[in-house]
């Protein structure tokens, strides 16, 4: 199956089963906007909860929620108005606009063309005789365009505002308030999850590049004279696959495998805090089902790095649809942002050391795109199994991640089975599991439907249930079925969802001595 067909198969399942679909469909769609359905919302929230568990709750970090619309003064001070731009070209014949670097990459298979700069982009368009991909017309010379949505604040438009393209500036402009709430101690971190907007020139690859998306960011503020991370020991033995700046410069594609500790000691990763978050990030992606061999961290070259960064690693995942794609950025933002807002606002952003000296905290930022992670989780989990009669789509989500954990269904919709099934459904709900009651169509079609949305366990109520209290449990991955008495169901569910050692129903029952 071609990579294009994999993407098409997954998006077809996504639309049909209610994960996500293009927004404004009845008006013909607008590229770069996606609407989530019921199971998509649940999946997305489960991923966000896992991110929060890995990056926020365990460490006791702060969370804030600040406005999507920001004053233009914020982005003037931060440098976004001067730097948040892309090279765009327009077709002289049909008038459509495109990102020039994307057109070059699609034509030549080159990577990271944006990092080569404007002069190289203009030259490569000409050298490769690149035309409009829609009508074949001649493309105009690329120009830099601001990729931020502009708006007016106030009914009279007295102040220019912008939709935030990242969540970081809210955490920096609110630094002083959070620092006071943290009893004026560093290091500490502020996190934020929410909508951001980027007015992309030509969105492509569906969920990979959107104009409105959800970001999960964290800003860790620390003293550059005391940069030690006391949690580094928790991840220092984790092996990470790195493509360093030097390797990127030489065109080396195969990453080097080192432990987080080795990478920090050798200064491949400049700070312990950045190494810590990269180790946590690897574990987080594994919790979404992405194995270590399909993860790598690629360093940005100096000309590719954002204006605020002294070192940035993209956390990349190897997909079947598009190859290696970025799902996160791990950036050393130095003291750029706080210095910029101190200068722009006139408010002192420095803090006091115990020895009486003052300093501007430095910042390490892990930033994950939730929409890309949602697609990656689906693609990683997707299997198309040939039964001999038909091809069945199965989403093998980790059990903690699946939109629904248990489906409860009567074998038939008569003879009191639906009513009995509702009592079982209540048992499952009262156990705290995400459950769905499904009584539509044949039992085989219901199993197929739940496989396709990734529900790990199906509980079926049949005539044996009515006579002897015996339920049938079916595993999504193995399609194995076993019988359990209704009184034992809470215990069996707890065992099944407790950990990876219970990958099938057979060991579950053997553990209980049956």
Answer whether 460's CB lies under 8 Å from 472's CB: yes
| CA atoms of 47 and 43, how far apart (whole Å) | 6
- Which of 143, 166, 183 is the endpoint of a domain? 143
- Which of 378, 412, 436 is the endpoint of a domain? 378
pLDDT at 264: 98
479 assigned to some structural domain: yes
Q: Are residues 332 and 362 in the same domain?
A: yes
Q: Are residues 184 and 255 in the same domain?
A: yes
Q: Which residue has the tokens 């607008």?
A: 30
CATH number, residue 438? 3.40.50.800
332 assigned to some structural domain: yes
Report phi then psi at 206, rounded to 5. 55, -115
Q: Are residues 151 and 111 in the same domain?
A: no
In total, how many domains does the chain have?
Answer: 3
Q: Are residues 91 and 79 in the same domain?
A: no
pLDDT at 511: 38
135 assigned to some structural domain: yes
Q: Are residues 109 and 177 in the same domain?
A: no
Q: Are residues 305 and 351 in the same domain?
A: yes
Q: What is the pLDDT of residues 250-291, one digit of tens each?
A: 999 999 999 999 999 999 999 999 999 999 999 999 999 999
DSSP 306-344: -TT-SEEEEEEEEETTTEEEEEEEEEEEETHHHHHHHHH
Q: Are residues 354 and 437 in the same domain?
A: no
Q: Are residues 331 and 412 in the same domain?
A: no
Question: Which residue range forms the structural domain that includes residue 22?
Answer: 3-84+147-378
pLDDT at 502: 44
Q: Are residues 76 and 103 in the same domain?
A: no
Tokens of residue 34, six digits: 């996606």
Which regions in the chain score pLDDT beneath 70? Answer: 1-4, 499-514
| CA atoms of 367 and 281, how far apart (whole Å) | 10
Residue 303 burial by Cβ neighbours in a 10 Å radius (0-12, 13-18, 19+): exposed
Radius of gyration of the chain (CA): 26
- Which of 333, 361, 378 is the endpoint of a domain? 378
pLDDT at 257: 98
* pTM given for the model: 0.92
Residues with Cβ within 8 Å of residue 379, at least 6 apart in sequence: 6, 7, 10, 319, 320, 321
CATH number, residue 113? 3.30.40.230
CATH number, residue 355? 3.30.930.10
Q: What is the pLDDT of residues 445-480, one digit of tens each?
A: 999 999 999 999 999 999 999 999 999 999 999 999
390 assigned to some structural domain: no
Q: Are residues 131 and 175 in the same domain?
A: no
Q: Are residues 199 and 309 in the same domain?
A: yes
Kindly report the CA angle at 228 between 225 and 232, in degrees rounded to 5?
A: 165
């Amino acid at each position: 199956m071609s990579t294009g067909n994999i993407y098409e198969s997954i998006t077809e399942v996504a639309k049909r089963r209610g994960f996500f679909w293009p927004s404004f469909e009845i008006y013909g769609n607008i590229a770069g906007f996606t609407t989530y359905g019921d199971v998509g919302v649940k999946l997305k929230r489960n991923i966000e909860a896992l991110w929060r568990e890995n990056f926020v709750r365990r460490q006791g970090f702060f969370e804030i929620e600040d406005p999507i619309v920001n004053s233009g003064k914020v982005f003037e001070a931060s440098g976004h108005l001067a730097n948040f731009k892309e090279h765009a070209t327009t077709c002289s014949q049909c008038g459509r606009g495109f990102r020039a670097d994307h057109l070059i990459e699609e034509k030549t298979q080159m990577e990271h063309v944006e990092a080569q700069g404007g002069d190289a982009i203009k030259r490569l368009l000409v050298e490769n005789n690149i035309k409009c991909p829609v009508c074949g017309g001649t493309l105009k010379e690329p120009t830099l365009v601001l990729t931020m949505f502009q708006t007016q604040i106030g009914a009279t438009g007295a102040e220019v505002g912008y939709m935030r393209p990242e969540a970081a500036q809210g955490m920096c402009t609110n630094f002083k308030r959070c620092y006071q709430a943290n009893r004026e101690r560093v290091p500490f971190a502020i996190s934020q999850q929410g909508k951001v907007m980027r007015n992309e020139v030509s969105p492509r690859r569906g969920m990979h590049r959107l104009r409105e998306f959800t970001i999960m960011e964290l800003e860790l503020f620390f003293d550059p004279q005391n940069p030690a991370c006391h949690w580094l020991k928790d991840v220092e033995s984790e092996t990470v696959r790195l493509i360093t700046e030097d390797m990127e410069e030489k065109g080396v594609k195969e990453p080097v495998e080192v432990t987080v500790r080795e990478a920090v000691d050798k200064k491949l990763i400049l700070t312990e805090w950045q190494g810590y978050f990269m180790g946590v990030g690897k574990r987080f992606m594994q919790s979404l089902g992405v194995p270590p061999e399909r993860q790598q961290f690629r360093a940005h070259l100096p000309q590719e790095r954002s204006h605020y960064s002294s070192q940035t690693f993209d956390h990349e995942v190897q997909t079947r649809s598009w190859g290696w794609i970025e799902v996160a950025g791990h950036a050393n933002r130095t003291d750029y942002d706080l210095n910029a807002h101190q200068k722009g606002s006139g408010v002192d952003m420095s803090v006091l050391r115990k020895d009486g000296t003052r300093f501007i905290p430095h910042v390490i930022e892990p930033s994950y795109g939730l929409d890309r992670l949602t697609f990656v989780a689906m693609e990683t989990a997707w299997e198309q199994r040939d039964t001999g009669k038909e091809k069945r789509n199965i989403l093998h989500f980790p059990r903690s991640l699946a939109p629904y954990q248990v489906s409860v269904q009567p074998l038939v919709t008569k003879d009191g089975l639906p009513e009995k099934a509702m009592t079982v459904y209540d048992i499952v709900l009262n156990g705290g599991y995400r459950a769905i009651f499904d009584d539509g169509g044949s039992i085989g079609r219901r199993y197929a439907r739940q496989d396709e949305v990734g529900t790990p366990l199906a509980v079926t109520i049949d005539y044996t249930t009515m006579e002897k209290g015996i339920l049938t449990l079916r595993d999504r991955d193995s399609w194995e079925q076993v019988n359990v008495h209704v009184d034992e169901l809470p215990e069996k569910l707890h065992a099944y969802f407790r950990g990876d050692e219970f990958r099938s129903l057979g060991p579950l029952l053997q553990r209980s001595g049956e």
